[in-house]
Amino acid sequence: MIASSFPAGARSRLDFWQVASGAILALFICVHLILEGSVVISPKLTDGIAWLLEATCVAQIAAPCLVLLILFHFWIAARKMPFRAGELGVFVRHSRCLREADTWLWLVQVFTAVVILAGAFFHVYTVMTDLPITVAGSAKRLHSGWMAFHAVFLPCVILHTGIGIYRLAVKFGICSKAARNRVRATIWIVMGCYLTLGTLALSRVWFLE
């Protein structure tokens, strides 16, 4: 341990903003995927929800805010990412030796983050420049090549959100050591449900007449 390189006295609220932005994004994703999943029941229902959100301008306002929030979240969380020369190598070698599930989970978090950062921008851009949002429009997009994008983007978002929530609970002492295995199992099950819902929704739109 060497002396701190941090300026003394400067209040660092970065961790607070990191969880706050992460938690808001996680909440958004959980709601977004469920609303999107309504297509499994009926495409009409989804169109109705989309119309409601657009007519009330919620979609138009939320979209740019979310992009900004993602950028903000990335800007804060990136200070933890192994960018500096050699750090990633050290960390991967360390994880291999250690065989620790939680150490690996963090690497998953970092890799999915990069995919989401790039993907979220394209995703929001294509959807919001092609209003109104309709299931038929989504089907056209999927068939014009976006299916592959979603097949990668969806699991990444779900993994990052699920692991993020688990890690948040663990890091802030909400999930104690005694509860850790149970919480982790629960998170995997919830992630599985979301993945199933997402996959069903995508295939429903794909096979839309």
Partner 1 sequence: MGRNLKFEIFRYNPLTPDIQPCMRTYRLEEHPSMTLFIALNMIRERQDASLQFDFCCRAGICGSCGMVINGRPGLACHTQTCDLPNHIALHPLPVFKLLGDLCVDTGVWFRNMGTKIESWIHTAKAFEPSVPEERMDNALANHIFELDRCIECGCCVGACGTARMREDFIGATAINRLARFHIDPRDNRSPADFYDIIGDDTGIFGCMGLLACDNVCPKNLPLQDQLGIMRRMVTIESVRGIIPAFIRNKLQGCGCKQKC
The residues that touch ligand HEM, with contacts defined as CB under 6 A, are 18-19, 22-23, 25-26, 29, 70, 73-74, 77, 80-81, 109-110, 113-114, 116-117, 120, 157, 160-161, 164-165, 167-168, 171
**Piece in contact with partner 1 (CB under 8 A), picked from 47-55, 65-73, 141-149, 164-172:** 164-172
Selected binder of partner 1 within 28, 72, 74, 91 (CB under 8 A)? 91
Work out the angle at residue 207's Cα, subtended by the Cα atoms of residues 198 and 47, and round it to the nearest 5 degrees. Answer: 65
The whole-angstrom separation of Cα 117 and Cα 196 is 23
Selected binder of partner 1 within 16, 122, 125, 206 (CB under 8 A)? 16
Selected binder of partner 1 within 144, 177, 207, 209 (CB under 8 A)? 177
Query: Alpha carbon 80 to chain centroid distance?
Result: 17
In the bound complex, what is the minimum distance in angstroms from residue 131's beta carbon to partner 1? Answer: 36
DSSP-assigned letters across all residues of 19-88: HHHHHHHHHHHHHHHHHHHGGGT-HHHHHHHHHHHHHTTHHHHHHHHHHHHHHHHHHHHGGGS--STTHH
List Cα–Cα distances, 111 to 153, 168, 188, 207, in angstroms.
12, 17, 18, 31
Q: Which of partner 1, ligand HEM, none sits in contact with 8, Cβ below 5 to 8 A by type? A: partner 1
In the bound complex, what is the minimum distance in angstroms from residue 98's beta carbon to partner 1? Answer: 6
